[in-house]
């Protein structure tokens, strides 16, 4: 499929507040990169989609355990 991706690089300073504001606005990006210490906060607020049941479809067997485990909740 033809997919257009718009990459927006943000300063890391204050990124937690920026993500929180974006999630609250209902106009959040489809994909974000956040620190592993922030994942629980965004998951608890309902801001993250649980993809656990789609790991096969997303080639989860190829994920590095050191990257997959911190993102699990």
Domain span at residue 66? 15-71
Q: Is residue 39 part of a domain?
A: yes
Q: Is residue 7 part of a domain?
A: no
Q: Give the pLDDT confidence of 46-69 residue by residue, as tens digits.
A: 888 888 899 889 888 887 777 777
The pTM for the full model equals 0.62
The residue count for the chain: 73
Q: Is residue 34 part of a domain?
A: yes
Q: Quote the CA–CA distance of 6 and 61 in Å, as a whole number.
A: 27
Nearest Cα to Cα of residue 20 among 28, 12, 31: 28
Contact 72, 40 (CB under 8 A): no
Q: Give the pLDDT confidence of 3-45 residue by residue, as tens digits.
A: 898 999 989 898 888 888 888 887 888 888 877 778 888 888 8
Three-state DSSP state, 38: coil
What pLDDT was estimated at residue 71? 66
Q: Quote the CA–CA distance of 44 and 59 in Å, as a whole number.
A: 25
Q: Is residue 57 part of a domain?
A: yes
């Amino acid at each position: 499929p033809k997919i257009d991706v718009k990459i927006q690089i943000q300063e890391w300073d204050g990124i937690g507040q920026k993500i929180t504001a974006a999630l609250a606005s209902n106009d959040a990006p489809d994909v974000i990169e956040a620190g592993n210490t922030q994942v629980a906060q965004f998951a608890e607020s309902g801001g993250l989609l649980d993809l656990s049941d789609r790991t096969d479809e997303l080639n989860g067997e190829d994920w590095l355990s050191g990257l997959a485990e911190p993102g699990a909740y």
